[in-house]
Amino acid sequence: MAQSKYLNSLEPWQDPKAQPYVSIKSLAKTFGGRVAVNEVSLSIYKGELFSLLGRSGCGKTTLLRMLAGFETPSSGKVFIDGMDMTDTPAYKRPVSMVFQSYALFPHMTVEQNIAFGLIQDGMSKSEIRDRVDAYLELVQMSGYERRKPDQLSGGERQRVALARSLVKQPKLVLLDEPLAALDKKLRERTQLELVNIQEKVGVTFIMVSHDQEEAMTMSSRIGLMNEGRILQVGAPTEIYEYPNSKYVANFIGSVNLFDGIIIEEEPDHVIVKSTSMEKNLYVSHSASVPVGAQISVAIRPEKVILTDSKPKGEYNWTSGVVKDIVYLGDVSIYHVKLRSGMIIFATVANLVRAAERPVQWEDEVFLYWKPENGIILTI
Ligand code: ATP
């Protein structure tokens, strides 16, 4: 996960004095009676790389297109840098868009593609040359000036498309799944390159993605969408460690969910009885719900510790039989079936080679986790 660039200063979204750069107010879009974007309100700050993340059809592209001015909102407002842009046509917004399909002109060279918008603006030839050179260097494509798009790899084409969108020095860059056409390895490398370029130019990026790993790697914050609504907004670690619902917990990474009832509720802990486990669950933080409430306790697989000896404590452990071991190189994911039938996932680092690992299929094992690793979810 990328380190926060705001390490030495207050993150703008936590600073009550900071003014949002992009302000989306109760924005909605309906297509023929079907709601695509449902009353979305969001504040995005200067220099952020903000990702709209969600499943196909959740409304993220429609929201991005309304920011670009390609789609007219059914209701609500869009402000950019304090200016109401809701009725401003796309070409008059200080916004540039990068598409999944690059949208480069095939008959033009790299240089001509990047210079296109500057020529239209009537910039002088020498200024254009300097600007194009600077942005080619920024995206590490110097030397490729004379090539046509079909003589470039997918990653190179996307870098040219990025240079073309940055060369006019927009205030805001909107990226619609910009890396989706690249293969996995190249995509991972390009993610970091894109973050580096964004940090160098300091422009605000809003990106649409359906790939949670990509959003986690690249973003300052993520807005997780479902059915036209934003379910949670937060930094990647915040969304991962403190999801606000079962939907979010399941969408970001994998999770073990124990449905249960609160049987003790104190300011510093709650105790939960779950039919999935013989032992009760102890979570060392308060829940804003009373005794008797139906809730779920979420435990991430990497927080589950697998052992062959019986844990000592009264809470947070169980036993089961190993039904599957998914070997992923650096880690293995153990699928352990409890007596209740529930399968628990436990991620174990492969510190020894596979042949030397003691736990195997059909072994009876114990699983436990620390009280601070449970998250109470009420929805
Ligand atoms: P994907 O990841 O597949 O691009 P998305 O989250 O970006 O999905 P949108 O493209 O915003 O989703 O679409 C949201 C909903 O609105 C979908 O149900 C889609 O079918 C519908 N929709 C989008 N554009 C139109 C349109 N021009 N006319 C009618 N319905 C549309």
Answer whether 271 contacts ligand 1 (Cβ < 6 A). no
For atom 19 of ligand 1, the residue with the nearest CA is 57
Summarize the confidence of residues 24-39 as an average pLDDT: 96
Mean pLDDT score of the chain: 90
| Domain chopping of the chain, boundaries | 12-94+170-247, 254-377
Pocket test residue of 53, 58, 62 for ligand 1, highest count of atoms within 8 A of CB: 62
Q: What is the pLDDT of residue 1?
A: 47
Q: Which two tokens stand for residue 72?
A: 């007219």
Q: Is the pLDDT of residue 318 over 90?
A: yes
Give CA–CA dist 104/198, Å, rounded.
20
Q: What is the pLDDT of residue 358?
A: 74
Q: What is the pLDDT of residues 117-142, one digit of tens each?
A: 899 888 999 999 999 999 998 888 89
pLDDT band with cut points at 50, 70 and 90 for residue 13: confident
Summarize the confidence of residues 42-65 as an average pLDDT: 95
Q: What is the pLDDT of residues 165-185, one digit of tens each?
A: 889 888 899 999 888 877 788
Q: Which atom of ligand 1 is nearest to the CA of 228?
A: 14
Q: What is the pLDDT of residue 7?
A: 52
pLDDT band with cut points at 50, 70 and 90 for residue 5: low
Q: Is the pLDDT of residue 379 over 60?
A: yes
Closest CA to 110 of 135, 130, 91: 135
For atom 28 of ligand 1, the residue with the nearest CA is 31
Pocket test residue of 27, 30, 31 for ligand 1, highest count of atoms within 8 A of CB: 31
Q: What is the pLDDT of residue 258?
A: 95
Give CA–CA dist 89/94, Å, rounded.
11
Residue 190, amino acid: T
For atom 11 of ligand 1, the residue with the nearest CA is 59
The structure tokens 């995005």 sit at: 44
Residue 131 parent element (H or E): helix 125-138
How far is CA 120 from its chain centroid? 36
Q: Does domain 12-94+170-247 have CATH number 3.40.50.300?
A: yes
Output the CATH code of domain 254-377.
2.40.50.140
CB contact at 8 A, 302 and 360: no
Give CA–CA dist 343/306, Å, rounded.
14
4 DSSP assignment: P
- CA distance between the termini of the chain: 27
Q: What is the pLDDT of residue 111?
A: 95
**Residues in the chain, overall count:** 379
Answer whether 58 contacts ligand 1 (Cβ < 6 A). yes
Q: Helix 110-120 crosses helix 154-166 at what angle (to 10 degrees)? A: 20
β-pair type (229-234, 221-226): antiparallel
Q: Ligand 1 mean position to 46 CA, how many Å?
A: 27
Q: Is the pLDDT of residue 202 over 80?
A: yes
- Quote the pTM value: 0.86
3 DSSP assignment: P
Answer whether 115 contacts ligand 1 (Cβ < 6 A). no
Answer whether 31 contacts ligand 1 (Cβ < 6 A). yes
Summarize the confidence of residues 110-121 as an average pLDDT: 93
β-pair type (294-299, 375-377): antiparallel
Q: Is the pLDDT of residue 4 over 60?
A: no
Q: Is the pLDDT of residue 280 over 90?
A: yes
pLDDT band with cut points at 50, 70 and 90 for residue 197: confident
Q: What is the pLDDT of residue 291?
A: 93
Answer whether 309 contacts ligand 1 (Cβ < 6 A). no
For atom 16 of ligand 1, the residue with the nearest CA is 36
